[in-house]
A and B are shown apart, each in its own frame.
Chain A
Amino acid sequence: MWSIGPIGFAAPWLLLGLIALPILWLLLRAVPPAPIRRRFPGVALLLGLTDDETQSDRTPWWLLLLRLLAVAAIIVGFAGPVLNPQQAREGTGDLVIVLDGSWAGAPTWGAKMDRVDTLLTEAAVANRRVAVVNLTDLPNEALPFAAPTDWQNRLPNLTPSPWQPTDPAAYFAEQSGSFETYWISDGLDYEGRDVLLSALEGFGEVTAFQSPRQIFGLRPARFEDGQVKVSATRTPVGNLTETTINAIGFDPAGVERQLATVPLIFEPGEAVAETAMVLPPELRNRITRFEISGARSAGAVSLTDDALKRREVALIAGRDDREGLELLSPLHYLREALEPTADIIDGALEDILLANPDVIILADVAILTDIEAQGIEDWVDNGGMLLRFAGPRLAASDLGRAEEDPLLPVRLRSGGRSVGGAMSWGEPKSLAPFAEASPFFGLPVPDDVTVTSQVMAQPDPTLADRVIAQLADGTPLVTRKVMGEGQVVLVHVTANAEWSTLPLSGLFVQMLERLAVSTRPVTPDTAELEGTTWLPNRVLDAYGRLTDGTDLPGIDGTLLAEGTPGPDVPPGLYAGGDRQLAINVIGKDTMLSTAQWPARITVEGMAVTRETALKGWLLSAALMMLLMDVIASLAVGGRLRGPRADVAVAVALAIVLFGQPAQAQERTADDFALQATTEVVLGHILTGDRETDEVAAAGLTGISQTLFRRTAIEPATPMGVNIETDELAFFPFLYWPITAEQQLPSREAYGKLNRYLRSGGMIMFDTRDADTARFGSGSPEGRMLQAIARSLDIPPLEPIPSDHVLTRTFYLLQDFPGRYASRDVWVEAAPPDAEQIEGMPFRNLNDGVTPVIIGGNDWARAWAVNDNGQRMFPVGRGMAGERQREIALRFGVNVIMHVLTGNYKSDQVHVPDLLDRLGQ
């Protein structure tokens, strides 16, 4: 194919015809426009008048140009021009297609696969062996050379990984032979890429494929000055860009929601942007991850771990009788230690318990009322942590003397002891190193921490297990017991510096951290993680989706310490003991940089240019120009003026307008509203597929007629509803046949649908595939339904239980067939506390109407009648089929009854009649 620039010609010789254009010009110039004959009585006066210009009137130059252009367009058009003609890629020998396969390429993975597919097709034409290598998932042994068609079949198995390639050059160092390389780049630079490039160049020519695209990376959020700071980086650095960051977490009902949204603005030329969120602690602690909205890659997701969580700590001291002595206040040091990292709650104990804090600290509180004690006990059982400090009051009280107090980990001996004071023997005691089982294990014990007074634990068989810190002489300093899901910890000294110097030391803060009283500093270091095993809880894939990771093996803590994800450490949320650690793709200082290629490497775009035949366009352009020529000739020849010009204009207009059918008259919103609300009208969602819409309309007509004949409901003609433009609120019931090809609703339409569902409307989704597919299986319609329902506010579902009100709103039914008789028909699940009362045939179920009925029984076809009132589609065979149709109609009646009367038939008043009918 011969080509000029991006345009190739199938029959270039025809272009020689363009040479004839100048000749045509001369010819056209020579021929004057044809005369008009006019009857005109005044001709007698004209006789003898001669024209001023004896030369014949020439066609104006622009009209000539127009005609020449039209002719040229025809010539070029027939020469078969093709935009972006596909040039077969030349080359021989083996070919290796290298994919970066990192998270950065995930958003455009489909385009990459298209590109690879094209390359493979070309390779197949050139009869080359091909190996496709994903750098993030390197093959185990030699390059897997295979026929291109084999690879085409395997392409869907290639997936990007949520990390960057790690040392890919090492793999290629082991390979031998010579091959050409096509490198499909993700556009992001990473360590070892240059080495890999030179290694690959050793084997043969390298061509790179990279599309310029901005890549965003979201850095982990951090807590600073009462705000959550979120920052993101980008490459290449470009103009002003505005994105939004979504904070996502679980709402109190356990449903994942977008909890907060904040705009993030990249200033022009800035690679990093930062923004802050101010959130109430309740909301902040619910956040599980941040996302750059709209960016589908693991780099745009940042999981949060304990680092962001601020624990709520309630501080309660015994009676504060020494007013104003701040440093002696039992809570002063706790407050100082906790304030930077935790949210402190003050107040009365009953109020605090209602707030459900993470930790309650009782500093030298001995006496609790029974109600308070019971409340705390329940709270600890549910996972609360009670931290108590000893003190003079506790020592003086009889608490936990004779028997173990539920809110104390150990029994206490009366009085306690004092050492190293003026009136006592011995030195003040220092701390012993922490035992391995202790949560404080590994914390350095400073020498200057001494204890002068403490309360003593009563020796007990369980005591040894409960001690987590002891003094050098072996007396317990901190004891702990597990209670329900929570724990009770007692520090045997005061929370102020009266009995020990512990609150003055850094160890105090560290111990509070270890006890998860206060929030831990950001990342644990290697030493801390050494020897620990962490279990992946949730892991990220390259597209930024969270998946369950509990089936993955545990990971050594040292690997986590590096904080960079890789094949061994997929990014995600790891749990170890009571702590959670997030491994994110983007670290807190990560800078992204665009992959640069040396000048010797050919870099091609990622877009697969499609061949576009221009012939049709050119010929239509020629036609349009000839049409314009018609009008222009009329104008030049004086036929657009003078007598009968109106005819000429009308004809010209008719030609111009020919083929443009008048748009169907738009329904005005008022007409629509009137039509929909004057009577009960059933609606069906217009899918855009004509046949489906017609069947849906016919089906609703059929059920409307049935309702009219058999019940008090007298619906008008059903209406098609366009969810994008029409108001839904007028319809009590919408039938939505799902087709595999239909468009997903827009955001506004989803808003409308959700409003409709929440305000009592019902949508009946019909995938119409129950003959071939079961509910939830992967039929195209089923997948489409999943895609549509993803953004809909649909409650938990269950198959229609046998006592659902739908089974008795008008007819007593237990089957819900349409054209197919599948039992897979799902409705809103009954509340979990619905119980069947003895002697009742059905449970007392929820109020209201199920917002959705989901099934695939193709009800509309079973109901459908044509204009003559005849059934349009056969159902089943013979009488059994007619019975099935009857049941289908009865189900339809029940559904509409359910929609219009709600749970009326759930009322107990109907029980005797129903029991009678059911023969019980």
Chain B
Amino acid sequence: MTEPLALRSQAETLAAPLPALLAEAEHLASTVLLGDHGRRRAGTGDTFWQYRPAQPHDEARSIDWRRSARSDSNFVQDKEWQIAQSIILWVDQAASMSFASDNHPTKGTRARTLALALAILLIRGGERVGLTGVRLPPRRGEVQIMRMAELLSEDHQTDYGAPEAQGMLAHSRALFVSDFLGDIGPVEDALLRAADRDVRGTLLQVLDPQEEAFPFDGRTIFQSMTGALQHETLKAGDLKQRYLDRLAQRKDRLAHLARITGWQFSTHHTGESATNALLWLYGAMERHA
């Protein structure tokens, strides 16, 4: 009897973060100026790129007669290549991302905000943006943003997330946002497969300041966010250095992976400004273009 009501309530609960997420992402995106979006090489498009002497393989109808009339040889007008790019996002929605310390936002919130803000920027720039997997293939338009926000708002119940390599279009661009604290295997796998398909992209590691500082002491039982994993220590203070070493190793490994696959890698802390991270992301996307 309460089904419609319950459904409505659930829907509202589900939709509740959406406007906030959207608003936040829009706000964040508005801080980045849309720059030139051309591919900076000749190709199909509307904008003039250059005149070049006609080659034998050029069709006669492609010759720009007006230009050719001013000289003895024939010229062809090249347009700037303006093909739309497909960009695929993966945002870790696992439980570990819901960690937050002090008054910082959770890692998940920050990751989603950044991803969505980038999506907004890219869609406004005329690119097609989608999520990995099959649920949201890349499309353009404002509706895509709404759908993406909806899907990003979901939470997964696993402890650590693994990127999906499915649904990655060849030659597309990709953005993986996660804390990369879980098993590195799936990430490596996904990256290698992406590299196989000539997908270039960016790894953004989002960490909480406490995960960097490890300010613990005394007898402690550390638990993962779902409680599935736990580790007991008698002197947490003694573990600090070794934990930090491992974290540095993990970052090195990610950086190394990125290097060999031609990806970009950066670490963002929730204690810092989100705008910086967005700028970096935007720049990283540009570089691949």
Interface residues of A (CB under 8 A from B): 32-47, 49, 51-53, 56-57, 636-639, 641-643
Contacts and interface: CB of A to CB of B under 8 A. Distances in A.
B185 interface: no
B181 A639 contact: no
B234 A43 contact: no
A594 B233 CA distance: 75
Given A42-B181, A44-B229, A643 B219 contact: no
Contacts of B99: 39-41
Given A42-B181, A43-B222, A642 B238 contact: no
18 contacts: A34-B219, A36-B220, A38-B221, A39-B99, A39-B222, A39-B223, A39-B224, A40-B216, A41-B96, A42-B222, A42-B243, A42-B247, A43-B230, A43-B231, A57-B219, A57-B234, A637-B218, A641-B216
Interface string B209-251: 0110011111111111101011111111111001100110010
Given A42-B222, A43-B223, 4 more contacts: A43-B231, A44-B96, A46-B222, A49-B239
A57 B234 CA distance: 6
A35 B223 CA distance: 12
B160 interface: yes
Given A45-B243, A49-B243, A643-B101, A39 B215 contact: no
B102 interface: yes
A44 B182 contact: yes
A514 to B, nearest CB: 102
Nearest to A48: B231
B179 interface: yes
Contact of A39 (B97, B225, B243, B250): B225
6 A-B pairs with the lowest CB-CB distances in the bound complex, closest first: A638-B218, A638-B217, A41-B96, A35-B219, A43-B222, A45-B246
B228 to A, nearest CB: 10
A56 to B, nearest CB: 6
A34 B234 CA distance: 10
B249 to A, nearest CB: 9
Given A43-B230, A643-B102, A38 B220 contact: yes
Contacts of B218: 33, 35-36, 57, 636-639
Given A36-B219, A49-B231, A44 B224 contact: yes
Given A57-B235, A639-B218, A45 B247 contact: yes
Interface size classification for chain B: 35 or more
A642 B213 CA distance: 10
B271 to A, nearest CB: 14
Nearest to A57: B234
B185 to A, nearest CB: 12
Contacts of A46: 222, 231, 233, 239, 243, 246
Nearest to B211: A42
Interface in B94-134: 96-97, 99, 101-102, 107
A723 B8 CA distance: 72
A52 B233 CA distance: 10
Contacts of A638: 216-220, 236-237
B219 A637 contact: yes
Nearest to B219: A35
Given A46-B231, A46-B239, A41 B224 contact: yes
B181 A38 contact: no
Nearest to B229: A43
A47 to B, nearest CB: 6
Interface string B166-178: 0000000000000
A471 B210 CA distance: 125
Interface centre among A41, A42, A49, A638 (most CB of B within 10 A): A41
B181 A37 contact: no
Contacts of A642: 215-217
Contact of A44 (B181, B232, B237): B181
A88 to B, nearest CB: 56
A643 B214 CA distance: 10
A142 to B, nearest CB: 83
Nearest to B250: A45
A40 B182 CA distance: 12
Nearest to B224: A43
Interface string B184-208: 0000000000000000000000001
A641 B230 CA distance: 21
Nearest to B233: A51
A53 B247 contact: no
A164 B178 CA distance: 102
A63 to B, nearest CB: 13
Contact of A38 (B179, B216, B237, B243): B216
A19 B289 CA distance: 82
Contacts of B217: 638, 641-642
Given A47-B231, A643-B101, A41 B243 contact: no
Contacts of B183: 44
A650 to B, nearest CB: 15
B212 to A, nearest CB: 9
Nearest to B239: A49
Interface in B78-107: 96-97, 99, 101-102, 107
B220 A35 contact: yes
Contacts of A38: 216, 220-223
Contacts of B159: 44
Contacts of B231: 43, 46-47, 49
Nearest to A643: B101
B99 to A, nearest CB: 5
B86 to A, nearest CB: 31
B219 A32 contact: yes
Nearest to B160: A44
A41 B219 contact: no
Contacts of B233: 46, 49, 51
A767 B101 CA distance: 68
Contacts of B107: 41
A40 B247 contact: no
Nearest to B208: A41
Contacts of B101: 643
B179 A41 contact: yes
Given A44-B229, A45-B250, A36 B221 contact: yes
B169 to A, nearest CB: 31
Contacts of B247: 42, 45
B69 to A, nearest CB: 69
B242 A40 contact: no
Contacts of B160: 41, 44
B131 to A, nearest CB: 23
Contacts of B102: 643
B155 to A, nearest CB: 14
Contacts of A57: 218-219, 234-235
A35 B221 contact: yes
A597 to B, nearest CB: 65
